Amino acid sequence: MISSEQFIYPPGEHEAEKASNSYLMSLIALIAGLPFPIVNLFATLIFYFGNRKGTYFVRWHCTQALLSQLSVLPFNSFGFWWTISIIFSSETITNNYIAYIFTLIIFNVAEFIATIYTAISTRKGTHVAWWFYSDLTNLFCKP
């Protein structure tokens, strides 16, 4: 699912730090914004726009971090509003609801671990490509 690949050029120290920060940004946002999925997206989006004029290596990793956040947003939002409707309306807790929350936990934890690993690797200048997200990033991010 995650592979270390050779980037088209060896990134410099400064680039590696910035690229690593894009993942750290989404991690911090993830911790702070757990109950509000939209917070994660905004934090990553702000970082993305702040670095869109950066070097290719930085832009590429900012895009991969943003796309991974974007993809979990609808699922987390659905779970969030489902929970709100249980607390404040006549919706009740069902087996499907509990199963959905566990599904969210599994995928969010997987993303969390992948993000930590990628943040550490990119800091060392290693190019980490995620399955599906790297191909998608290549579509949007050109050298």
Partner 1 sequence: MKKILFQAVIIISLIFAVWYVLSKVDWMRIFKVEQITNKTEKKLGDLFWELYNSAEKEIKSEEAIQPLDSILTKICVSNNIDKSQVKLHLVQSNEINAFVLPNRHLVINTGLILAAEDEGEVAGVISHEIAHMELNHVMKKLVKEVGLSVLISMTTGSGSSEQVKAAVKLLSSSAYDRNLEKEADIKAVDYLKKSKINPVHFANFLTRLSDKEPAGIKYFSWISTHPDSKERAEYITALCNKNTKYPQPVISRQTWDNLRQYLSEKKESRP
Which positions touch partner 1 (CB under 8 A)?
71, 75, 86-90, 92-96, 98-100, 102-103, 106-107, 131-132, 135-136, 139
94 close to 59: Cβ distance less than 8 angstroms: no
Of 1 and 13, nearer to partner 1 (C-beta) is: 1
Of 28 and 110, nearer to partner 1 (C-beta) is: 110
Structure tokens at 41: 């997206």
Q: Report the nearest approach of partner 1 to the CB of residue 44 (Å).
A: 19
Of 6 and 89, nearer to partner 1 (C-beta) is: 89
Of 85 and 124, nearer to partner 1 (C-beta) is: 85
Crossing angle of helices 56-88 and 37-50, rounded to 10° = 160
Helical (H) or strand (E) element with 16: helix 13-32
Per the rule left: phi > 0, alpha: psi between -120 and 50, beta: everything else, 125 is: left
33 close to 73: Cβ distance less than 8 angstroms: no
